[in-house]
Structures are given as C-alpha cells and as structure tokens.
Amino acid sequence: MGKLLAVALVGIAAALAAERLLAFRSRLNASREVAPVSLPNCRLIKGIETGSEDIDILPNGLAFISSGLKYPGIKSFAPDKPGEIFLMDLNEDNPRAVELRISRGFDLASFNPHGISTYIDRDDTVYLFVVNHPHQKSTVELFKFVEDDNSLVHLKTIRHDLLTSVNDVVAMGPDSFYATNDHYFSDFLLMFLEMFLGLTWSNVVYYSPKEVKEVASGFYSANGINISPDRKYIYIADVLDHNVYVMEKHANWSLTHVKTLQLDTLVDNLSVDPHTGDIWIGCHPNGMKLFYYDPENLPASEVLRIQNILSEQPVVTRVYSDNGSVLQGSSVASIYQGKLLIGTVFHRALYCHL
C-alpha cells in the first residue's frame, strides 16, 4: 500500500510539473515566430550598444533613453559596465545620442537603470524618475534635468518595503509616481519559481512622501505603465499575460479596472502619443528566446500601435517586426512628430522616420 501511494504521489507531481511547464511555455510564447514588417527609413543609433530598455520623450522632442540594464536571467553584452542615460534631440535633422553627465555623489558604479518617466513642474523644471537596481535591489532615483549642461542632478534615492521588484514608473508629480513590481520576490530563483508556477502576485504601487499603498494586484508580471493624455486612465502591461489593462485613476490615487485588451505577444513598455492617445508598445514575440539567449536563434522584436483603446473595438497594428537580425529584444517604442524610437532590453536602438 505504501509503495502504491508513493507511486501515485510521484505521478501526481510529474503530471503537475508537466502541466506547469506547458503553461510556462505558453506564457513565453515559446513556439511563436513573426513575419517581418520593415520600415523604410530606419538606422541604428550610434553609441547605444548595451540596451535602451526605456525611452521617454518630452513635449519639446528631447528623448531620454535608459541603457545598460543588468536583469536576472537576461543577456547583457557588458555585465561589468555601469548603466547610462542618453539624450536625443529629435528636432535635429540627424539626431545623435549623447550620454548625460550625472552629478557627483551618486553611485555610478552600481547604476543599473530600468524603467524611466519624466515630469515637468509648473516652473518648467524637468524631473527624471529612474528605476535602479543597484546590487539587484530596487530603488527609484529622482533627478533634475539641466538642459544647458546636458546633465542630471541627483536629488534623492527612494526606497520602500512595497517597492520590492520595480520594473517601471509613471510620474504623477515632482516626487510621486505609480510603480509596477514585476515579481513578488526579488531573489532570482524565487522569481523563476513564481513565473514557473504561474503565481499572480505582481502588483502596482502608488508612492508619495505622504502615502505609499498598493493600488492594483493580481498580475502575472506587471511591466510597463503609463497614463492617458487626459490623465484619467493608467495603462498597465502584463508581460506574461500578453495584455494591457486600462485602469481608472481616482482622486485618492486608487485605481479601478475598466477593461483588458488581450494581445498575442509579450508586452513590455508602453508609450502614449500625447496628441492622439495612441499606445505604442515594444514587445517580445517569443519570450523563450529572450530568457534563453542563443546567438544562433536570436530574440525577435515587435512594435504594436493601439488606437482607441477605450472603444469597443480598439485597432491594433503591427508597425514593425524583425527576427533579431537588426534589433534584438525590443522593449519600448516612442513616437514624436513622425519619428519613432525603438529600444531594446540589452541590444541596440533604432531611429525611424514614419
């Protein structure tokens, strides 16, 4: 009887593991391939060689680009090189990426930038919020941008027990923001187990100096986050559930679910066109290739544009896709006056005229 019970338990465990493996492969789109969609007027941006994970463009056409992310389980071409913030002026005929100088006193050696967001105050001061992972921890760094000097002045480092595994932020004020935690755990092995078991423990947190609270939960892996031009709605990408959540923002900063748009790709960072409200998304067609890097089978890139997301029938357009021969692991796409920037987790960046 004891042997039969042992065999039964082993069988149940094997069946459960097999089911979880199939579900995990499905969430990673492990078998998906995409047909190429090219854009005619594109060039790789010189000087960006180790990632351009997130991009935020000011209304005047200045684009901030985070580069050099080292993330557990993800490829890095320069694992010992500190991260950087680049600036591009998209008003120039031939814009180039310029590394921004960061003020003294900030620990550049451990700078590991992830998601970014800008906020323009009433006095026109530009604040840059940067998710940072020094020594694989999570902080949000607050900088003031000095345009005349092409520099960032570090104002403060934000840490909190609710900001455990921060992926992205969207600024709400000069010292407040919403942040996504892409995992419940911060330890790599526990993060992997969380993904493998399909636990929906990822969340969104609102932070201000006066109040910090969870405002949304139940995500497989909350990733990119952004806000509608009228500032009424927050958009959240769940990279492992292949969808974009629309949440209504309330006066007390709480969020309520409005709708979910299901897609067929792993959605990363979200950028919003301030004029049209269109959402531009850098996506991973096949997450397995991203997590298990093979130079003979490169991770692909994909850019989606979502129009009228609040309508009954949003329009989803695949604007760009590549098998990795040009651009590997796209994570963001941002638009400014017919100019498109496409960034990647650890590879190059692409500049296109639409």
Residues involved in catalysis: 114
Whole-angstrom Cα distance, residue 71 to residue 236? 20
CA 127 vs CA 64, 68, 230: distances in Å = 11, 21, 20
Pairing of strands 176-181, 202-207: antiparallel
Return the amino acid letter for 245: Y
Contacts of 163 (CB under 8 A, 6+ apart): 138, 139, 140, 179, 181, 205, 207
Closest CA to 218 of 235, 200, 205: 200
Determine whether 109 is exposed, middle or buried from the number of CB atoms within 10 Å of its CB (0-12, 13-18, 19+).
exposed
Closest CA to 117 of 69, 71, 177: 177
Closest CA to 73 of 200, 168, 191: 191
CA triplet 112, 115, 120: central angle to 5 degrees?
Answer: 115
- Known binding residues are 53-54, 116, 167-168, 223, 268-269
Q: What is the three-class DSSP state of 73?
A: coil
Whole-angstrom Cα distance, residue 328 to residue 345? 8
Contacts of 223 (CB under 8 A, 6+ apart): 167, 168, 180, 182, 236, 237, 238, 239, 267, 268, 269
- Known binding residues for Ca(2+) are 53-54, 116, 167-168, 223, 268-269
